[in-house]
Amino acid sequence: IKLLTLVRVIVVILFFTWRMRHRDSDAMWLWWISVVGDLWFGVTWLLNQITKLRPRKCVPSISVLRDHLDQPDGGSDLPLLDVFINTVDPVDEPMLYTMNSILSILATDYPVEKYATYFSDDGGSLVHYEGLQLAAEFAASWVPFCRKHCVEPRAPESYFWAKMRGEYAGSAPKEFLDDHRRMRAAYEEFKARLDGLSAAIEQRSEACNRANGKDKEECANATWMADGSTQWQGTWIKPAKGHRKGHHPAILQVMLDQPSKDPELGMAASSDHPLDFSAVDARLPMLVYIAREKRPGYDHQKKAGAMNVQLRVSALLSNAPFIINFDGDHYVNNSQAFRAAICFMLDPRDGADTAFVQFPQRFDDVDPTDRYCNHNRMFFDATLLGLNGIQGPSFVGTGCMFRRVALYSADPPRWRPDDAKEAKASRYRPNMFGKSTSFINSMPAAANQERSVPSPATVGEAELADAMTCAYEDGTEWGNDVGWVYNIATEDVVTGFRLHRTGWRSTYCAMEPDAFRGTAPINLTERLYQILRWSGGSLEMFFSRFCPLLAGRRLHPMQRVAYINMTTYPVSTFFICMYYLYPVMWLFQGEFYIQRPFQTFALFVVVIIATVELIGMVEIRWAGLTLLDWVRNEQFYIIGTTGVYPMAMLHILLRSLGIKGVSFKLTAKKLTGGARERLAELYDVQWVPLLVPTVVVMAVNVAAIGAAAGKAIVERWSAAQVAGAASGLVFNVWMLLLLYPFALGIMGRWSKRPYILFIVLVTAVAATASMYVALAGSLPYLHSGIKLV
């Protein structure tokens, strides 16, 4: 691949040298735009390519980790771990997905006394609170079942829906079928209770409000907890002052206490409990519900703000040196995943300088052809693999293990000053972390990565509540140099960049089976909104104080180049949109050449494109990808540049003028049933302005092909003329092929029959050609042929 890259660089240099020596065009202004555009694409391609020249695959040695840290008596010296999971809305993020994520975390293969799970409900919903209670109750059977029979994956929805399973690896094969049948029945009951939770809470609240109707102003709209005597402190079903989204007090509840150090065997089979867990450790890890305070007048900073609250609360309760975070729709697919990440964190070579270990995102319920490039394999398995050979991959929002002190803005060991006083002064500033002395006192213990015994929490409820208030972060560095970064849509990438800028490195870890899996938007409009948020946030990062150009010497030069590419790629839309609109030249008078002599120009273009395609083929081979992965990546890049990236550029322009900018819509996930129902969303059409530019580009290219056909008929072109025009029409056809997934998306349910799209396009071309022929007699200037190149 290095040789091919060198060959392409030489060809591109020769190409630009030739173009500058032959400034011959029928429209010099277009010639200059094309030259600048080609230069932009050449430079950005080169910068992107050089970051992938030293790919590094990291394979966790879990067996070695067991040999070193697992004790013969069943104990373990594995370090402590805190798990963060975030959700907001039980409608946009279906609770069944969220509770499956919780269950998979509680059942993972990690010493139960060494990790705690913190569930952040940023909507303060009683549905989430009671759903978490139901999940904890169901986990008492599900977790021992997973341990007894070593099932994979340990999210029940995915496990029971799996069509194929590996060989049995548990300790009781004769009991498996009966246990499986009973557990599936228990899970179906659990799902039914979850489904009916909202209605049950509403009915209960109405009954309690009628019974407590003396004080109508206070009780008329209240939402009541399961005991029937306590009003819910969070968001009510019928919002009221102090009990609505954006305005409610902080809530913290330990659902499952810290387990004991010694194993506790479960119950033997009985009439009330038919599953035999008498030989299985039935302990469950610590589980905590958090709903931070929200008040009017405060910017709560969405997911980043919620995770910073989790960071403080977990420091006061369990204070594990390592943290792993999940979105509410992601679950643990491989129960060894936590151990895999720990392998890299404890690596004696460079583990101490590793701030985070990033796993690739994998998705369920994506259509078999991955029409909208949801898997994004070229990014995860090629780009991030390349970065792994430099300073490490970027943080992509979920499925990532962090070193706690790195989030506290500590320096990595290799960059720490030798003098202890100087080191302390460089890391700590007055009121940097807030006024909680207990939190500040917890920081030295958090730096000890070998700490494997949890310390009992000694903080009071008042101090925990204070850490969850809106005012706690006033005047501090939270959201800047501490925790997850605020005020940028892509807080994940920026937070990872801040750690790299400080000198930390990261590691990319892919394993089989996949460590984690989640859900992805398979609807075209939702997918485009997702890309809009990413691209707009990337530009925000470039024009902020986190611009890669401003980073110091601790950021590796090639890592800086990678971040520049990650934050400026939407700028390409300006030049690509110009190329999209070149076909309108077919409607102008006379022959039209953007570059002369055309034959030499065409030869250069063919060679350059051929080298790019060849390099792409080599990349997908070493990354273990398929040709379809590469094609989908190319297609959706073009789809993004037509309608999404221009909107991202508009967002930055408005922000630079002091205007709010474009509002980024969070991706909604829908709960679906069977395989057919899961793909129903693929065929829904949601017409929004974001679709219009791409429709225009398609129409322009179809019209260009039709106009060319009309000219050929009217002017009776010779074979040579047809061949010359075909060289220009190849671009139009190529553009339509790249926009093929978009065209299917706007067809809705008609896209189930792709041949209809072909018929529509041929009909449109024929209609345009017929219209041109019909108008040729009345508009004489149309008689002159045009060649667009």
What angle is formed at CA 717 by the lines to CA 716 and CA 721, rounded to 5 degrees?
175
Beta bridge partners, 8, equal: none
505 DSSP β-pair partners = 354
* Sign for the pseudo-dihedral over CA of 398, 399, 404, 406: negative
What number of residues does the chain have? 789
Q: Please tell me whether 327 is known to bind a ligand.
A: yes
629 is annotated as an active-site residue:
no
411 labeled binding residue: no
Tokens of 428: 């700590």
Active-site residue identified among 38, 82, 109, 122: 122
114 is in an annotated binding site: no
- Of 572, 591, 735, 595, whose CA–CA distance to 15 is shortest? 595
Amino acid found at 116: A
421 assigned to a ligand binding site: no
Is 122 catalytic? The answer is yes
Please identify which of the residues 121, 492, 514, 629 carries the catalytic annotation.
492
Q: Can you say whether residue 365 is alpha, beta or left, with left for phi > 0 and alpha for psi between -120 and 50 degrees?
A: left
Distance (Å, rounded) from C-alpha 522 to C-alpha 545?
34
CA–CA separation, 135 vs 155, rounded Å?
Answer: 12
Residues in Cβ contact with 50 at an 8 Å cutoff, skipping those fewer than 6 apart: 5, 558, 561
93 annotated as ligand-binding: yes
d(CA 556, CA 103): 40
* Exposure string for 658-687, b = 16+ CB within 10 A, e = fewer: eeebbebeebebbebeeeeebeebbbeeee
Return the half-sphere exposure (C-beta side, CA atoms, 13 A cut-off) of residue 512: 2
- Helices of type H across 623-754: 627-639, 645-656, 675-678, 692-715, 719-738, 740-747
Closest to 2 (Cα-Cα) out of 604, 506, 631, 622: 622
Mind giving me the DSSP string for 350-394? Answer: TGGGEEEEEPPP-EES--TT-TT--S-HHIIIIIHHHHTTTT-PP
Do strands 322-327 and 81-87 pair parallel, antiparallel, or not at all (unpaired)? Answer: parallel
76/69 Cα distance (integer angstroms): 6
Tokens 């004769």, residue?
A: 174
Contact 282, 244 (CB under 8 A): no
Q: Report yes or no: 399 and 330 within 8 Å, Cβ to Cβ.
A: yes
705 contacts 733 by C-beta, under 8 angstroms: yes
Q: At what angle do helices 437-446 and 302-317 cross, to 10 degrees?
A: 80
- Which residues are known binding-site members for Mn(2+)? 303, 327
- Which residues are known binding-site members? 93, 122, 302-303, 327
Q: Which of the residues are catalytic?
A: 122, 492
- Which residues are known binding-site members for UDP-alpha-D-glucose? 93, 122, 302
